[in-house]
Amino acid sequence: MSSQDHIEKHIIVLGVTGSIAAYKAAEITSQLRQKGWEVRVMMTESATRLVAPQTFLSLSRAPVTTSLWDSPSWQPRHIELALETRLLLIAPATANILAKMAHGIADDALSTFYLSHEGPVLVAPAMNPRMWRHPATQENCRLLRERGVHFVGPVWGRVACGEEGEGRMSPVEDILAATLETLAP
């Protein structure tokens, strides 16, 4: 057992990707903070076009990572943070991030962090229903489930483009419940 195993980990890393549902991640951040968790937000570049990093800085009271090149220290932030993190929650999780995770592609801060994180991972998919049904997306999700990644949703509903079907991100309350369940011993 390493000395790191004795440290109580109270950090949840919240990965925010480029789905219109990214605005709901602000509420997730706020709710997790109210429940006593430290939240560190990692945003993909696409997510920053939908919600400003400042929103998450204010809600989490911690720096927001938007690039692999944000680290002010000698050690890459994704490696340092992986040692301190109890759970990686990605909400919303786009088809793009699910594909990167399934195939070990690490080309941004969030996908690189995923590969360095050794704890539980929970994803809340959010995308167009046709994208969700696509065989490639379903195969990526199958691979991730086999590797122990937990899923919450998606659910049936109207998505931003106006279509209805399975692909809408689960309600914030369901994501919070799944987060606490995943964290339970």
Cite the active site residues: 161
C-alpha torsion angle, residues 99, 138, 28, 177 (rounded to 10)? -140
- Among residues 101, 125, 109, 39, the alpha carbon closest in space to that of 69 is found at 109
Both tokens of residue 138?
Answer: 């379903």
Judge contact between 53 and 43, C-beta under 8 A. Answer: yes
Strands 155-158 and 164-168: antiparallel
